[in-house]
Amino acid sequence: MTDYRFSKTASRLKRSEIRELLKLTRKPDIISFAGGLPDPELFPIKEVAESSQRAVNERGSLALQYSPTEGDPFLREQLAAYMTRSGEAVSADDIIVVSSSQQAIDLIGKVLVDEGDPIVVETPCYVGTVQAYRAYGADFHGIPVDSEGMRVDALEREVKSLCDAGRKPKFVYVIPDFQNPSGVTLSLERRKRVLEIASEYDLLIVEDSPYRELRFKGDFLPSLYSLDNENRVLQMKTFSKILCPGFRIGWMLGPEEVIDKIIIAKQGTDLCTAAFSSIVVAYFIEAGHLESVAAKARERYAKKARVMLDALEVHMPKVDGLNWSEPDGGMFLWVNLPEYMDAVEMFPAAVEHKVAYVIGSAFTHDGSCRNTLRLNYSYPTIDQIEEGIKRLAALIKSRVK
Amino acid sequence: MTDYRFSKTASRLKRSEIRELLKLTRKPDIISFAGGLPDPELFPIKEVAESSQRAVNERGSLALQYSPTEGDPFLREQLAAYMTRSGEAVSADDIIVVSSSQQAIDLIGKVLVDEGDPIVVETPCYVGTVQAYRAYGADFHGIPVDSEGMRVDALEREVKSLCDAGRKPKFVYVIPDFQNPSGVTLSLERRKRVLEIASEYDLLIVEDSPYRELRFKGDFLPSLYSLDNENRVLQMKTFSKILCPGFRIGWMLGPEEVIDKIIIAKQGTDLCTAAFSSIVVAYFIEAGHLESVAAKARERYAKKARVMLDALEVHMPKVDGLNWSEPDGGMFLWVNLPEYMDAVEMFPAAVEHKVAYVIGSAFTHDGSCRNTLRLNYSYPTIDQIEEGIKRLAALIKSRVK
């Protein structure tokens, strides 16, 4: 058989450009700032081992069985307690469990996006979001970000122009804290403004919040979900960045009507999230470990970010147009190269210099931002960060006109 | 906000009728044959606890990290070794790991089914399949089953008529062993015939194989995947029935081109399957526990099926049109009531009689088969099976004309 006659969706699926580039970087002597992985030294092996034992020994017949589609009740309780302790009070009934926040992103597309529907995202935008909504045939409208996050003036203009044309966006997707890939945070003033614009044009907001807990500088800002009182914010959270990615567990909150549709869509997608890992994580939270592991991550990432920023300051050439974001948390920073440089074209040379990054254009729906790149500081060691930035700076210096 | 403007897909999503009916049966004195759960007494708590400890202690930094989208390499190796020991030799490269076989069903829809595309299924058909493909707007063509499984004469007629009309089906979906919900098995002769028809009309076959290992009578039959030498069978396997459902791990094999598309689709759907549970299960298989837990399940379900069949024989009225399937394995049997009886209408009375089943029409895309019902014997205890069938028989007797 040779012609499987794939769907229209399949024709829109593209192999992630990042993954293809990353294959080039799997050599032991290459220092990679390309991944998006947490520091594995932070993984709380002992505590996870304990929680696993409790899950199997104390709740084995639940942990090994199907769970309700909306999530294991014990985990939902623990999540509500955790969020309430973190200052954003919710109840277990407000929460559904999902199999990673990537699943939440996908299910939102499934229940909201038809082919050609306009959606609004940040430029640059998390690559998994672009990939998921491209599959549904979304028509992307990118809003530039600056040091205070999504530019609300541009947001308002774009939304108005779409609405005037009778093409109201299905939603505005935003990562307000330490955005992936830019590393910037949406200021409090802009959060309020985003909600005002949403209110004025009656828009749904999708708030992806994987990094919020990883703030190592400044005050925690209230989430869009907590600031909303018009039932227009869907919030997604995950354990992948604060605890570890290996469980594939996230959670969602939002307007009941949307959540109901998502539960039905989830039934056909994977029936339910794994009870086993749900209960392991629930015991982990109950024991108070989530707060302590997040505290350790904040401390570690503050240090690594500092080392990377210092190295950039020391080694990068002082030229117009070359600058980088200074994150208050999260795992990434963003480098703007002078307009005449092309991070895509430069990539093979970087690999030759034994250093890797992600090309910024991988994070745009239209391949723009070719003079940008994303650097990850959570995964490499301190020594690697210093040496890797030295290598990257040498390469960039060699290309200054 | 009140109008979220859901997608066309969302408008096709229906809350599972089974789930709504099951809510009526959640009273402690009701004996339920309605679920599809494995017997929790079979759950190998001790062995899972051991495997969990090994996963965290020996491979913690892998188990808590992202895994490749195609699956954790150690699990893929163990799965290949397991399948090879089971008599159907494959290599690790042939296998991709998925987050439940429900996810595999969904991803197949994503990469193959456009709105209005014809697909061929059994009548009755697994409800999760109907739900998943309905969301993609599939046009279902049901083929009746008899005691030897899907009727190949009807299959050929339907495929020919569709192809003559220029509407070649995207695939034929079949559960060859102990089909859910009918309990019947596709005979060897018919397996070969299904492949011949597929070859003649150049069709893809989707072989869902969650129950194969649960054969308690007769010889294991070769899978469609193993009989195919034309790259036209996608096979889905899962741990949910042979080990337990709590891990949400399944695996897939099939034509490279289709598997490649599915990997890309999976990236946008959940990035990867949980490394944690993947590695737990891999250690479990490596220790040889999968074969022993399957052997215990076979023994237990043979006994429970026997008890249910005997009770039906003893208690059911002897009337025309009332009969049931005699499964050689799996978890279900299927009851045909006389044409004038309606299992949907009878359901509230069954709940009053303190016994529950699933209405057969829940398993058809068009609501047909209203005089049928599915009984599960894996979950209830022996005593419950005897007493429950007595109650159900009394109800049916009272409705005989």
% pLDDT > 70, chain B: 98
- Mutant choice from A3, A8, A13, A233 vs B, greatest count of B C-beta within 10 A: A13
Judgement on whether residues A209 and A297 belong to the same structural domain of the protein: no
Residue of B nearest to A107 (CA): B269
Interface of A with B in 42-61 (CB under 8 A): 43, 45, 48-49, 52-53, 56-57, 60-61
Considering only CA atoms, which of A331, A311, A113, A338 is closest in space to residue A241?
A331
Interface of A with B in 336-375 (CB under 8 A): none
Please answer whether residues B93 and B77 qualify as being in contact, where contact means their C-beta atoms are separated by less than 8 angstroms: no
Q: How confident is the model over A176-190, as pLDDT tens digits?
A: 999 999 999 999 999
Judgement on whether residues A201 and A348 belong to the same structural domain of the protein: no
CB atoms within 10 A of CB B71: 25
- Mutant choice from B14, B51, B52, B258 vs A, greatest count of A C-beta within 10 A: B52
B-chain CB neighbours of A112 within 8 Å are: 4-7, 10
- Answer whether residue B384 is part of any domain: yes
- Answer whether residue A278 is part of any domain: no
The pLDDT mean for chain B works out to 95
The pLDDT score that the predictor gives to residue B218 is: 96
Taking residues B327-333, report their average pLDDT.
96
Interface of A with B in 265-324 (CB under 8 A): 265, 267-277, 280
Please answer whether residues A98 and A266 qualify as being in contact, where contact means their C-beta atoms are separated by less than 8 angstroms: yes
The pLDDT score that the predictor gives to residue B126 is: 95
What CATH number is given to the structural domain containing A205? Answer: 3.40.640.10
The pLDDT score that the predictor gives to residue B23 is: 72
Judgement on whether residues B177 and B242 belong to the same structural domain of the protein: yes
Q: How far apart are CA A334 and CA A318, in angstroms?
A: 17
Judgement on whether residues A19 and A154 belong to the same structural domain of the protein: no
| Domain end (from A271, A301, A319) | A271
Burial of B208 from C-beta contacts in 10 A (0-12 / 13-18 / 19+): buried
Q: Is B29 on the interface with A (CB under 8 A)?
A: no
The ipTM is 0.94
Looking from the CA of A363 toward its CB, the CA atoms found within 13 Å total: 27
Q: How confident is the model over A196-225, as pLDDT tens digits?
A: 999 999 999 999 999 999 999 999 999 999
- Mutant choice from A204, A271, A273, A289 vs B, greatest count of B C-beta within 10 A: A271
- Whether residue B43 and residue A37 make contact (CB cut-off 8 A), yes or no, is no
% pLDDT > 70, chain A: 98
Please answer whether residues B41 and A64 qualify as being in contact, where contact means their C-beta atoms are separated by less than 8 angstroms: no
**CB burial readout A291-329, b (16+ within 10 A) else e:** eebbeebbebbbebbebbbebbeebbeeeeebebbebbb
For chains A and B, CB pairs below 8 A equal 251
Shortest Cα distance from B6 to chain A (angstroms)? 5
Considering only CA atoms, which of A279, A251, A256 is closest in space to residue A72?
A279
Q: Is A16 on the interface with B (CB under 8 A)?
A: yes
The pLDDT mean for chain A works out to 95
Judgement on whether residues A251 and A314 belong to the same structural domain of the protein: no
The pLDDT score that the predictor gives to residue B28 is: 81
The pLDDT score that the predictor gives to residue A27 is: 78
Judgement on whether residues A384 and A243 belong to the same structural domain of the protein: no
Q: Is A23 on the interface with B (CB under 8 A)?
A: no
Shortest Cα distance from A328 to chain B (angstroms)? 24
Q: How confident is the model over A33-50, as pLDDT tens digits?
A: 998 899 999 999 999 999
- Whether residue B111 and residue A67 make contact (CB cut-off 8 A), yes or no, is no
Q: How confident is the model over A45-89, as pLDDT tens digits?
A: 999 999 999 999 999 999 999 999 999 999 999 999 999 999 999
Shortest Cα distance from A346 to chain B (angstroms)? 26
Q: Which two tokens stand for residue A323?
A: 């600058």
The pLDDT score that the predictor gives to residue A46 is: 96
Judgement on whether residues B309 and B381 belong to the same structural domain of the protein: yes
Cis bond leading into A124, ω under 30°? yes
CB atoms within 10 A of CB B291: 14
Chain CA centroid to CA A7, Å? 28
What's the angle, vertex CA A112, arms to CA A111 and CA A117, rounded to 5?
145
End-to-end CA distance of chain A: 54
Tell me, what DSSP letter sits at residue B220? P
Q: How far apart are CA A97 and CA A106, in angstroms?
A: 14
Domain holding A347, by residue range, is: 11-42+292-398
Q: How confident is the model over A96-131, as pLDDT tens digits?
A: 999 999 999 999 999 999 999 999 999 999 999 999
Q: How far apart are CA B264 and CA A362, in angstroms?
A: 16
Integer-rounded Cα Rg, in Å, for chain A is: 21
- Answer whether residue A86 is part of any domain: no
Please answer whether residues B197 and B152 qualify as being in contact, where contact means their C-beta atoms are separated by less than 8 angstroms: yes
Q: How far apart are CA B21 and CA A243, in angstroms?
A: 38
A-chain CB neighbours of B274 within 8 Å are: 99, 246-249, 274, 277
Residue A365's pLDDT band (cuts 50, 70, 90): confident
Q: How confident is the model over A9-28, as pLDDT tens digits?
A: 999 987 776 777 777 777 78
The pLDDT score that the predictor gives to residue A15 is: 74
Judgement on whether residues B237 and B103 belong to the same structural domain of the protein: yes
Considering only CA atoms, which of A345, A230, A246, A287 is closest in space to residue A43?
A246
Considering only CA atoms, which of B232, B224, B229, B240 is closest in space to residue B174?
B224
CB nearest to A63's CB, from B9, B246, B255: B246
The pLDDT score that the predictor gives to residue A383 is: 97
CB nearest to B131's CB, from A53, A134, A267: A267
Give the list of residues 6+ apart from residue A341 with CB closer than 8 angstroms, or none: A371, A396, A399
B-chain CB neighbours of A108 within 8 Å are: none
CB nearest to B1's CB, from A52, A114, A232: A232
The pLDDT score that the predictor gives to residue B203 is: 97
Residue B223's pLDDT band (cuts 50, 70, 90): very high
The pLDDT score that the predictor gives to residue B56 is: 96
The pLDDT score that the predictor gives to residue B35 is: 87
- Answer whether residue B350 is part of any domain: yes
- Whether residue B37 and residue A65 make contact (CB cut-off 8 A), yes or no, is yes
CB nearest to A40's CB, from B13, B43, B65: B65
Shortest Cα distance from A319 to chain B (angstroms)? 38
Q: How confident is the model over A244-283, as pLDDT tens digits?
A: 999 999 999 999 999 999 999 999 999 999 999 999 999 9
The pLDDT score that the predictor gives to residue A308 is: 98
Q: How confident is the model over A330-348, as pLDDT tens digits?
A: 999 999 999 999 999 999 9
The pLDDT score that the predictor gives to residue A1 is: 84
CB nearest to A258's CB, from B4, B9, B170: B4
Residue of A nearest to B52 (CA): A52
Interface of B with A in 236-275 (CB under 8 A): 240, 244-249, 255, 257-258, 261, 264-265, 267-275
Judgement on whether residues B70 and B21 belong to the same structural domain of the protein: no
- Answer whether residue A74 is part of any domain: no
CB nearest to A202's CB, from B1, B61, B257: B1
| Domain end (from B227, B257, B289) | B289
CB atoms within 10 A of CB A254: 26
CB atoms within 10 A of CB B28: 4
DSSP labels for B63-97?
A: HTS---TT--HHHHHHHHHHHHHTT----GGG-EE
Judgement on whether residues B145 and B209 belong to the same structural domain of the protein: yes
Chain CA centroid to CA B166, Å? 30
Interface of A with B in 111-170 (CB under 8 A): 111-114, 117, 128, 131-132, 134-136, 168, 170
- Answer whether residue B79 is part of any domain: yes
Number of domains chain A contains? 2
CB nearest to A111's CB, from B7, B265, B272: B7
What CATH number is given to the structural domain containing A307? Answer: 3.90.1150.10
Q: What number of helices (H) and strands (E) belong to chain A? A: 14, 14
- Answer whether residue B1 is part of any domain: no
Considering only CA atoms, which of B356, B319, B324 is closest in space to residue B338?
B319
Q: How far apart are CA B152 and CA A198, in angstroms?
A: 56
Considering only CA atoms, which of A366, A293, A298, A348 is closest in space to residue A327?
A298
Chain CA centroid to CA B246, Å? 16
Interface of B with A in 79-118 (CB under 8 A): 99-100, 102-103, 106, 110-114, 117
- Whether residue A53 and residue B52 make contact (CB cut-off 8 A), yes or no, is yes
- Answer whether residue A241 is part of any domain: yes
Q: How confident is the model over B33-66, as pLDDT tens digits?
A: 998 899 999 999 999 999 999 999 999 999 999 9
Cis bond leading into B124, ω under 30°? yes
Judgement on whether residues A249 and A113 belong to the same structural domain of the protein: yes
Judgement on whether residues B71 and B157 belong to the same structural domain of the protein: yes
| Domain end (from B248, B273, B289) | B289
